[in-house]
Chain A
């Protein structure tokens, strides 16, 4: 449904997006993840034909953004970073206007407005002036505007920004309900958002694509090793020595335990199922095993890893290279 190849966008000096390629299938929800200034908004603006790419290609619903912008725009519903609202209009009137300019026939407009106001829970404010709405309601009007012509593709730039927790959950649910019939790209820098709503995560940082995968795979991929948490009742130094001696264990770190108990985090090589081995070792030594569980990396950590450690590695590599040549 969406295809991006070697997309690059340069502003005067800054390269906001740097040779990004990805593909999104019909009906998928894709999360665009990256810190401030990563290039999320810029990529979305290229996809919506607001900005032309400097290099590379992008196509939506089979239409190239540069060659057939009108066809692309007909298939896209776009919620920009700040909702594009006319404060002097009433909600209904505004939605009818956006519907008309997006090609909804004058006969069908009534039904579409009814439909999107219901979906976005705007029933109470339909006759209110947009200038009188709260931030959260404005965001919802922006979302309703993106849905008005029932587009195949939805591009939502930080759809939950500025909403209260209840509304965030409702919006996520709405986005989830919309998937299937719509292909959705949403951007965010809130991580739980992608793990709860998205089937595919695209992580970009400083304009470069860092990773693209399902949330589950990303978690697995980043776990080059497995971490296991154990809590054991027994003499600390002996336990530590015993654990360290087990095959496959790469590192043992002492954690603060409750009174009389000690806990460790044990890092092991991936796919080396060590849990039964661990349990066996503890029990046969006559100590009490209170707890034993794997510690998964949360997406939050993945994110930090991707954008911090990779960068650090790159910087180091760069340093080495320049040091080698001089």
Chain B
């Protein structure tokens, strides 16, 4: 446990020293800020018109109108930014040779993997924190359902953790951060668009493929609906990602 935290601290430091952390956070803040502004502007416009037409308070719901689409947006932005967070995890250590330090220190592979995963997770939490700050502004002006919001954030947390697991696996495959990022992005994009099969296929295979899609499982969370099968899906992907990373590290020793 102690080792995981020591490794995570170093990794976080690396994120900020290499300015990847600042770039990711700034990009997220700008893009999310833009979406947030647009969503509220549309909402304000809509409620104004409904007030003028009917002469009463807006019947529209903050959750349905702003929070749900925003959370969906976050899931997409994250899909694009996540490769930047995971690309360096192992690729950079392999390139600089520091992997030799880690692998010859009395650490278990799983401690190394979890340390890195935890650091990436903390950076991701900062990112979610930025979006939460924006959304909290809504509480000053209205009464959104905070339970639905919490479920939405739980969904984002699971989604991010799953992306990070897979991303760190891809990062073990190469010494080159750019290659790692590109591959990771390709994998994420593929997982994202898998559910498109539902638009033309109704066979069992089609359903299975759609089930594998990483974003379909997020929609219920965004609506504030916590369903076991979606949570299980993400937990399995997290587990799979960490398992694959561990196997890949093992084979790193054999290939080295």
Chain A min CB distance to B111 (Å): 9
Distance between Cα atoms of A51 and B251 in the complex (Å) = 10
Chain B min CB distance to A5 (Å): 21
CB-nearest residue of chain B to A103: B106
**B199 proximal to A (CB < 8 A):** no
Distance between Cα atoms of A114 and B246 in the complex (Å) = 35
CB-nearest residue of chain B to A70: B106
Distance between Cα atoms of A51 and B104 in the complex (Å) = 10
Mark A101-118 against chain B: 1 for CB-CB distance below 8 A, else 0: 111000000000000000
Chain A min CB distance to B157 (Å): 28
Distance between Cα atoms of A50 and B104 in the complex (Å) = 6
Say whether B103 contacts A50, CB under 8 Å: yes
**A36 proximal to B (CB < 8 A):** no
Known A-B contacts A88-B13, A88-B17, A88-B18; the reply to A101 vs B7 at CB < 8 A is: yes
Say whether A76 contacts B6, CB under 8 Å: no
Apart from A84-B98, A85-B98, list 16 A-B contacts with CB within 8 A.
A45-B256, A50-B100, A50-B253, A51-B253, A51-B254, A73-B106, A78-B100, A78-B104, A84-B96, A84-B99, A84-B100, A88-B17, A100-B2, A100-B6, A101-B3, A103-B106
Known A-B contacts A73-B105, A78-B104, A102-B105; the reply to A51 vs B256 at CB < 8 A is: yes
CB-nearest residue of chain B to A74: B106
Which of B17, B97, B102 interacts with A101 by CB under 8 Å?
A: B102
Contact surface of A with B, Cβ cutoff 8 Å: 45, 48-52, 70-71, 73-74, 76, 78, 80, 82, 84-89, 97-98, 100-103, 145
CB-CB < 8 A to A82: which residues of B?
Answer: 97
Distance between Cα atoms of A84 and B97 in the complex (Å) = 5
Chain B min CB distance to A42 (Å): 10
Distance between Cα atoms of A88 and B97 in the complex (Å) = 14
Say whether A86 contacts B106, CB under 8 Å: no
Distance between Cα atoms of A100 and B254 in the complex (Å) = 27
CB-nearest residue of chain B to A69: B106
Closest 7 pairs between A and B when the two form their complex, measured CB to CB: A88-B17, A84-B101, A73-B106, A48-B104, A84-B98, A100-B6, A74-B106
Known A-B contacts A84-B97, A101-B3; the reply to A49 vs B104 at CB < 8 A is: yes
Contact surface of B with A, Cβ cutoff 8 Å: 2-3, 6-7, 10, 13-14, 17-18, 96-108, 253-254, 256
Known A-B contacts A51-B253, A80-B97, A88-B17; the reply to A73 vs B6 at CB < 8 A is: no
Contact residues of B: prevailing secondary structure: helix
Say whether B10 contacts A86, CB under 8 Å: yes
Distance between Cα atoms of A70 and B103 in the complex (Å) = 10
Say whether A86 contacts B14, CB under 8 Å: yes
CB-CB < 8 A to B98: which residues of A?
Answer: 84-86
Distance between Cα atoms of A323 and B111 in the complex (Å) = 58
CB-CB < 8 A to A74: which residues of B?
Answer: 106
Say whether A97 contacts B100, CB under 8 Å: no
CB-CB < 8 A to A102: which residues of B?
Answer: 105-106
Chain B min CB distance to A235 (Å): 66
Interface centre among B14, B17, B97, B106, by most chain A C-beta atoms within 10 angstroms, is: B106
What are 26 contact pairs spanning A and B, CB under 8 A? Answer: A45-B100, A45-B256, A50-B103, A50-B253, A51-B253, A51-B254, A52-B253, A70-B106, A70-B108, A71-B106, A73-B106, A74-B106, A82-B97, A84-B99, A85-B96, A86-B96, A88-B13, A88-B14, A88-B18, A97-B6, A97-B10, A98-B101, A98-B105, A101-B102, A102-B106, A103-B106
CB-CB < 8 A to A51: which residues of B?
Answer: 253-254, 256
Say whether B101 contacts A76, CB under 8 Å: no
CB-CB < 8 A to A52: which residues of B?
Answer: 253-254
Chain B min CB distance to A104 (Å): 11
Which of A70, A101, A145 interacts with B6 by CB under 8 Å?
A: A101
CB-nearest residue of chain A to B105: A101
CB-CB < 8 A to A100: which residues of B?
Answer: 2-3, 6
Distance between Cα atoms of A71 and B107 in the complex (Å) = 10
CB-nearest residue of chain B to A98: B101
CB-CB < 8 A to B10: which residues of A?
Answer: 86, 89, 97
CB-CB < 8 A to B14: which residues of A?
Answer: 86, 88
CB-CB < 8 A to B106: which residues of A?
Answer: 70-71, 73-74, 101-103
Distance between Cα atoms of A208 and B91 in the complex (Å) = 33
Which of A76, A87, A88 interacts with B104 by CB under 8 Å?
A: A76
Distance between Cα atoms of A84 and B104 in the complex (Å) = 11
Distance between Cα atoms of A145 and B101 in the complex (Å) = 9
CB-nearest residue of chain B to A155: B104
CB-nearest residue of chain A to B111: A101
Chain A min CB distance to B7 (Å): 7
CB-nearest residue of chain A to B16: A88
Distance between Cα atoms of A145 and B98 in the complex (Å) = 12
